[in-house]
Amino acid sequence: MLIAGINFSLHFLAWNRKSLQSYFDDSEVKGYLYFLGFACLFVSLSLGFTFGAENLHQNVINGIFQTVSFATTTGFSVTEIATWPDFLPMLLIILSFIGGCAGSTAGGMKVVRWLLVLKQGSREIKRLVHPHAQYSVKLGKRVIDNKIIEAVWGFFSVYSIAFFVLIFLVMLSGVDYTTSFSMIAATLNNLGPGLGEVINNYESVNDFNKWICVISMILGRLEIFTLLVLISPTFWKA
């Protein structure tokens, strides 16, 4: 799961050059591993404090497995997360929004976009302190063009709008917020398992909401813009 969440072009470079240096030189992979390492540590410690030291070994294994599975949107489970403290299953769902690296099999928004958003946010804070200073956004040693930053912000905006619109449509049919939130998060991020009524499967979901989930899965797999471009009148007039 961890390997599949890394950009496949890096796997090709590592194989072709017979060296792992391409992984160490990539800023996205570093961010991906740091984020997963911190998340695994937090979840494992939380399980340890909740269930005590008697099953510490098993809690650590379950915590790491479930965290990597959800963060990479693989969706496998080795334990009933419904028995965990409420904040942990919700955290796992939220991790799926980050997903894996660009060019990987993972869903979600991708680590590189989150890195650029964080760096852009840091730049805006610096600009507030020094309005006339010139700051650039860098990923590793590479300076990122402002057009790329704008595209990332556009993606985040459309992704967020689609997410909340789909949640609203599901809630219109009388589904509770927890189930609605996790259902759309799981399908939009191509994760699979959700919370509430869909923690095991989607059998109880009515036909209307199943169609909403189908649309959500297509939007997520095509990363929003591809589908929106296809249904845009501008595309067909071009």
For residues 152-158, give the mean pLDDT: 88
Q: Domain for residue 109, yes or no?
A: no
| Percentage with pLDDT > 70 across the chain | 94
Residue 37 has pLDDT above 90, yes or no: yes
Tokens of 172: 């219109």
Q: Are residues 94 and 160 in the same domain?
A: no
Residue 129 lies in a domain: no
Residue 180: predicted pLDDT? 93
For residues 43-69, give the mean pLDDT: 88
pLDDT, residue 2, reads: 93
Residue 175 lies in a domain: yes
Would residue 194 count as lying in a domain?
yes
What are the pLDDT digits (tens) for 62-100?
999 999 999 999 989 888 888 888 899 999 999 999 999
Residue 139, phi then psi, degrees to nearest 5: -120, 105
Does residue 228 register a pLDDT over 80?
no
Q: Which domain holds residue 182?
A: 156-237
Q: Is residue 106 part of a domain?
A: no
Residue 231 pLDDT more than 70? no
pLDDT at 128 over 70: yes
pLDDT mean across residues, the chain: 88
- Residue 207 within a domain: yes
Considering the domain architecture, whether residues 92 and 160 belong to the same structural domain is answered as no
- In terms of domains, do 22 and 90 share one? yes
Half-sphere exposure of 145 (CA within 13 A, CB side): 3
Q: Which of 67, 98, 129 is the last residue of a domain?
A: 98
Residue 203 Cα distances to 38, 108, 194, 226, angstroms = 34, 24, 12, 29
Tally of domains in the chain: 2
Terminus-to-terminus CA distance in the chain, angstroms? 41
- Does one domain contain both 18 and 92? yes
Q: Is 28 left (phi over 0), alpha (psi -120 to 50) or beta?
A: alpha
pLDDT of residue 235: 57
The last residue of one of the domains, among 51, 67, 98, is 98
Q: What is the mean pLDDT of residues 124-128?
A: 89
92 in any annotated domain: yes
